[in-house]
Amino acid sequence: MVNKPTRPTDPLIGNDSWNIQLDSNGRLKHFLTIEGLGSEILTNILDTAESFANVNQQRVKKVPLLRGKTIVNLFFEASTRTRTTFELAAKRLSADILNINISTSATSKGESLLDTLQNLQAMLCDMFIVRHCDSGAAHFIAGNVAPHISVINAGDGRHAHPTQAMLDMFTIRRNKGRDFGRLRVAIVGDLLHSRVARSQIHALNILNTGDVRVIAPKTLIPTDIEDMGVTVFNDLEAGIKDADVIIMLRLQKERMQGAFLPSEHEYYSQYGLTEESLRAARDDVIVMHPGPINRGVEIESRVADGEHSVILDQVTYGISVRMAIMSMVLGREPEHNETEAN
């Protein structure tokens, strides 16, 4: 049996239910947060995604691993990339997938979340993929579903977005190799509200990244972020100096109450990644962004579309990484011959 790591209560979701994602054998039952996972699980996800990347290059982009399984995309918040790549991933694994449109579902008639879940359970589903504006929502759902159902967190409030972090690690590994120890990674932007950044920092730490930096105005940096082992910079060029990887973040205006910034224009002049500021990084730096990007707010178009950008590769890799995570939580990891060319 694999020992489960222990850690104190999660400050954002206020309980220690983070560890409900592992079964008694230390295998993934749900995928809710990167926190508390070991490097073997993360590396296993990345290696499994690598075999699915081959499937995604084949003429018939499909394997029968999840045939007969029913998966529900339950998105209570807007999404383009995440929802559609989960749907494609499910289809390429031969599962049946339903997309529940919350704005037209009975939730808008006052049905509680638990009643909605019980009705979906009664339809004999195997997995819920959940995005919700409340931190802790995916943990709550995982703690309240029938034992045979797995839950994947597709983003909860400003808490976690673990599948995004894993596709980002996959993108870094594909471009920079397996040794994260020699990498300098700079994360720039709205760290305070970003669930993506929190999950990325946990993943980078677990994979032993040499130097992780965060760069933002003081108002957009959580006060306790140094406890996560990162170095804080308030100056863009100092922070991205000699970086191998730069990850840009969107300003999460929907999560801001009150004035965090003087103006978008001023933010761009200090923290926008332009061709000029990018010169401070290494010549072979890669520029990443989880999307949606706001051109002229956090990133210049010439950088977003330029030679260092891997932003659209992240989207493509998201399919393979989500295929890996979905097959692992349902206990159907591919044998070698299951991902061979058709």
164 vs 320 by CB, closer to ligand NCD: 164
Distance, in Å, from the CA atom of 205 to the CA atom of 27, rounded to the nearest integer, reads 20
Q: How far is the CB of 153 from ligand NCD (least distance, A)?
A: 11
Q: How far is the CB of 200 from ligand NCD (least distance, A)?
A: 11
63 vs 326 by CB, closer to ligand NCD: 326
29 vs 250 by CB, closer to ligand NCD: 250
Residues in the chain, overall count: 342
Among 27, 61, 62, 81, binds ligand NCD (CB under 6 A): 81
Catalytic residue among 83, 161, 173, 332: 161
10 vs 77 by CB, closer to ligand NCD: 77
Q: Find the binding residues for ligand NCD in span 186-245 (CB under 6 A).
A: 195-196
Catalytic residue among 131, 159, 173, 184: 131
Query: What does DSSP say about strands 96-101 and 70-75: parallel, antiparallel, or unpaired?
Result: parallel
Q: Find the binding residues for ligand NCD in span 247-286 (CB under 6 A).
A: 250, 252
Q: How far is the CB of 49 from ligand NCD (least distance, A)?
A: 17
* Residue 81 falls in the annotated catalytic set: yes
* Residue 107 falls in the annotated catalytic set: no
Catalytic residue among 27, 61, 62, 81: 81
56 vs 135 by CB, closer to ligand NCD: 135
Distance, in Å, from the CA atom of 309 to the CA atom of 275, rounded to the nearest integer, reads 11
Residue 247: which of 317, 156, 310 has the closest Cα?
310
The site string for ligand NCD over 149-168 (x = CB under 6 A, - otherwise) reads ------x-----x--x----
Question: Which residue(s) pair with 185 in the sheet?
Answer: 212, 245
Query: Is the CB of residue 290 less than 8 Å from the CB of residue 313?
Result: no
Half-sphere exposure (CA, 13 Å, Cβ side) for 329?
28
Distance, in Å, from the CA atom of 198 to the CA atom of 187, rounded to the nearest integer, reads 10
* Residue 132 falls in the annotated catalytic set: no
Catalytic residue among 48, 82, 85, 116: 82
What is the number of the residue whose Cβ is closest to ligand NCD? 250
**DSSP 8-state symbol, 60:** S
Distance, in Å, from the CA atom of 153 to the CA atom of 130, rounded to the nearest integer, reads 5
Q: How far is the CB of 218 from ligand NCD (least distance, A)?
A: 20
Joined tokens for residue 210: 């040499």
Query: What does DSSP say about strands 127-132 and 211-215: parallel, antiparallel, or unpaired?
Result: unpaired
Q: How far is the CB of 249 from ligand NCD (least distance, A)?
A: 7
Among 135, 291, 323, 334, binds ligand NCD (CB under 6 A): 291
Residues contacting residue 321 through CB under 8 Å, at least 6 positions apart? 45, 46, 49, 52, 163, 166, 167, 170
Q: How far is the CB of 118 from ligand NCD (least distance, A)?
A: 27
What is 133-178 written as a DSSP string? SSTTHHHHHHTTS-TT-EEEEEEETTTB-HHHHHHHHHHHHHHH-S
81 vs 302 by CB, closer to ligand NCD: 81
81 vs 91 by CB, closer to ligand NCD: 81
Among 82, 85, 135, 309, binds ligand NCD (CB under 6 A): 82
Query: Is the CB of residue 252 less than 8 Å from the CB of residue 293?
Result: no
Active-site positions read: 81-82, 109, 131, 161
Binding stretches for ligand NCD (CB under 6 A): 81-82, 155, 161, 164, 195-196, 250, 252, 290-291
